[in-house]
Amino acid sequence: MDRRTAIQNLALVIGGAVLLPRCSKSNPSAHFKHFDITFDQQTLITDIAEVIIPKTNTPGATDLNLYGFVMKMVDECTKKKDQEAFLKGMAEFEDVPKKMFSKPFAECNKKEKEDVLKSFEKKDNSYSKELQAFYQTVKGLTVFGYTESKYFMTKEIVYELVPGRYNAWYPVKNGKAVAKNG
């Protein structure tokens, strides 16, 4: 093991790559089973997830470590072809804030970040297939990770491991779903 790898591994061990000093794009900061990504890219995905599911008076994507879930799913549950599209799309992503606001996503304010992501929600956008795939993957997995999180299932809705009963007609209270059916 060379020294650089050793330091990287150590950094991962002591609490995640976010502790690493900022490194260049040619210097991968997070190793997954099937690819590496840079520190900037980690930050990008974390930021996108937080814009989709922001911290309000309840926890957001960062609080719930949805970044970790998104990357686990991309790494382990996604076809190689789709991983490649994801990585290619991710590499293209910074062009969007640059074109819209002449700065990288990380330097955009909250409103600007939202505008960047909303541009993907427009049906007639002209983004490449890969760029679209990247955004939709991050969004889909962020939402999936959120609605399958312990926080969501126990605090936002009701999840009982052993319901013990079937109530065929149950009032909806406060506009909230009362139960997860899965």
Interface residues with another protein (CB under 8 A) are: 51-54, 56, 58, 60, 72-73, 76-80, 114, 117-118, 121, 139, 143-150, 152-153, 156-159, 161-172, 175-182
When the beta carbons of 52 and 96 are compared against another protein, the nearer one is: 52
- Residue 20 CA to residue 36 CA, distance in Å, equals 15
Alpha-carbon torsion angle 90, 96, 97, 99, nearest 10: 140
Shortest Å distance, C-beta 76 to another protein: 5
- Residue 86 CA to residue 138 CA, distance in Å, equals 9
CA angle 17, 66, 8 (to 5 degrees): 10
Shortest Å distance, C-beta 69 to another protein: 8
Shortest Å distance, C-beta 180 to another protein: 7
Shortest Å distance, C-beta 35 to another protein: 13
When the beta carbons of 43 and 147 are compared against another protein, the nearer one is: 147
When the beta carbons of 4 and 79 are compared against another protein, the nearer one is: 79
Q: How many residues does the chain have?
A: 182
When the beta carbons of 102 and 166 are compared against another protein, the nearer one is: 166
DSSP secondary structure letters along 68-81: HHHHHHHHHHS-HH
Residue linked to tokens 């960047």: 116
